[in-house]
Structure 1
Amino acid sequence: MIKKPIIIQLASGLEPRPVAVLVQVASQYNSKIYVEDGDRKVNAKSIMGMMTLGLSAGESVVVSAEGEDEAEAIENIEKYLSSGN
């Protein structure tokens, strides 16, 4: 299992469209992927779960992945959340 703190640098934070893209990125991998914000932990492949976090730009989350492609999953999720788009 890999855990990595990531600062959300998307200009709009995790509003519906960026959440949908994040879920698409996470869903490409076989690993179990979670996003943690404080005491809340949700499946990164769940649109509804991700929407409940209501994260803004500049907030820090911990992304964890466990599985055969966990390193690649974390790397690409970090690229997306740090892209500023």
Structure 2
Amino acid sequence: MVSRKITVTNEQGLHMRPASIFSQAMTPFSCDISIFFKDKKYNAKSVMMLMSACIKRGAEIEIRCEGSDEEEAMNKAISLIEGGLED
């Protein structure tokens, strides 16, 4: 398992479009990918779960990946968050 804490930089947080971009990018990975925010766990492959988390700009989240391609998944997740989720 790998995990990393990161701050969300997207101006609008993980609203519909960025949440969709993120979940679609995570879906091809076979490992389990979770986001922890405010002591709750969210499935990072589910756009509805991500939107329900109400993650705003400046929020610190923890991304956890567990499985055979966990390193690749983590690298992609961090790249997306640091890049502002193309928004």
TM-score interval, normalised by the smaller of the two chains: over 0.9
How far is the alpha carbon of 1:48 from its aligned partner? Answer: 1.3
2:44 matches 1:44:
yes
Question: How many residues are aligned here?
Answer: 85
What's the Cα RMSD here?
0.9
How far is the alpha carbon of 1:12 from its aligned partner? Answer: 1.6
Matches within 5 A, 1:24-43: 24-43=24-43
Amino acid at match of 2:53: L
Unaligned runs of 5+ in 2: none
Matches within 5 A, 1:60-75: 60-75=60-75
Amino acid at match of 1:47: V
Q: TM-score, normalised by structure 2?
A: 0.92
Amino acid at match of 2:57: A
Which residue matches 2:12?
Answer: 12
Give runs of ≥4 in structure 1 deviating > 3 Å. none
How far is the alpha carbon of 1:10 from its aligned partner? Answer: 1.3
